[in-house]
Amino acid sequence: MAGNRSEQRERVLVLGASGETGRAVVATLEALTIPVRAQVRTAEKGKHLASELTEVVIAEVTENTLPGLVEGTFAIISTIGTRVFTDLRTIEAAEHTTIKNAIDAAINANLRHFVLCSSMGTQQPESIPPLANILYAKARAEQDLIDSGLTYTIVHPGGLRNERGGREVLVTAHPSSSHGSITREDTAQVLVQALLQRESFNKSVDIMQQEGQGLADRQGLFAAL
């Protein structure tokens, strides 16, 4: 596995930590003994996340709460997203405005890295009509991050599957036409490895399961980009 940052006691802020991908990110960070601040919206959502390494903070992600959320952290991994497909106001708030607020807070706190879990298809939202509104909003958030001056990694997973990870993963800078799929566990591993491998810095990548590529925690995961 790639090296960990156990000597670095600052935390990684995981936004959306109670979601399916967020929980996998928290577990992956803990497996590497990296301290976590897990943002959740309710006590019920966070009750199984707290541990020796993970501090759970119950808060909405807003301009007012973000300064406290980022304090004492060195990086953000955002897994925030919505499953609302038609309410444009909800989509814009969840997929763009909230991410923009997090980016601004990261700038103000001088964080070292912002890793954004987005979605495959943001380069051509019109190619997936049922998700187009969400993909357009995600694309706006991605551009805000690229323009922010922060060190960033943007990860576009294919269709997310709730299966065991540890499968081989393709990481490519070229948008996929097949869209593919990937487990949440392997997606989480890529998001965490983005913090640990400098080749990920200021890169935007598509990821999907593909035989012959190697595991998601391999050294040089982003080196070929």
Active site residues: 119
What single-letter amino acid sits at 132? A
CA angle at residue 118 from 50 to 62, to 5 degrees? 55
Longest dimension (CA), the chain: 46
